[in-house]
Amino acid sequence: MRLPDKVALITGAGSGIGRETALLFAAEGARVVVVDVNDSAGEETVRMVRGQGGEATYTHADVSKATDCERMVRTAEETYGKLNVMFNNAGILHAADDDAITTSEEVWDLTMAVNLKGVFLGCKYGIPALRRAGGGSVINTASFVALLGAATPQVAYTASKGGVLALTRELAIVHARQNIRVNALCPGPLHTELLMKILDTEEKKQRRLVHIPMGRFGEAKEMAQAALYLASDESSFLTGATFSVDGGITAAYVTPL
């Protein structure tokens, strides 16, 4: 097992990357605090973890609210006695997120509140808990669009994920001597419900796939494997990193057809 005696808190764990990571972390020996705003989805993840013999508990939290973030970290420490891994994974991509001209202020503010402020608040309350445990790993979900401009306009999402990278780098330096590592996971386009709702026709899917050198969408399970490496002691000399798991999209100038 790669996470023996570890306690991990995962936001956005009711679906997608978060759910797959909760299942994998538990299978690797971690006790998992499942966090989501969708209670039925979060509780289903807990049932799935327990069904495979793992240990997990659910707590509701809106990551854009300080009181909720403080409570979710407190739940981890009160339930399992400590916190070793903080995975700030929750995020949104609003259907009305477009270019700077047409994106409303409300969509901008909501996206920043969840995607960037939510990571800040997770770190604000999670890092002191890691420090109390003697150190640990923070993983912040960013995106390949934090490194490349998005051809399909999504200005709020792209800007929020760029902010996650900047925040990750600074926190990594600030806490490097405290045995706390802070890294950013940058997924490429994934075959998840979040993206497939947007790419809702075969034509839209193919327009995105042509830019991915590997010629396919990634899977949430593949992102969970990357998060496992960042959470484990195997990445003990890695901090402040932009960990791109994207099928080669950020390496490509043009893609072979």
Could you give the CA distance from residue 72 to residue 124 in angstroms, rounded to a whole number? Answer: 12
Asked if 195 and 234 count as a contact pair (C-beta separation under 8 A), the reply is no
Given 58, 80, 125, 157, which residue is catalytic? 157
Q: Is 157 a catalytic residue?
A: yes
The 3 state secondary structure assigned to 53-122 is CCEEEEEECCCCCHHHHHHHHHHHHHHHCCCCEEEECCCCCCCCCCCCCCCCHHHHHHHHHHHHHHHHHH
Taking the C-alpha atoms of residue 133 and residue 150, their distance in angstroms, rounded to an integer, is 39
Cross-strand partners of 185: 141, 243
Residues 6+ apart with CB under 8 A from 257: 210
Task: Check if the beta carbon of residue 189 is closer than 8 Å to that of residue 151.
Answer: no
Active site residue ranges: 157
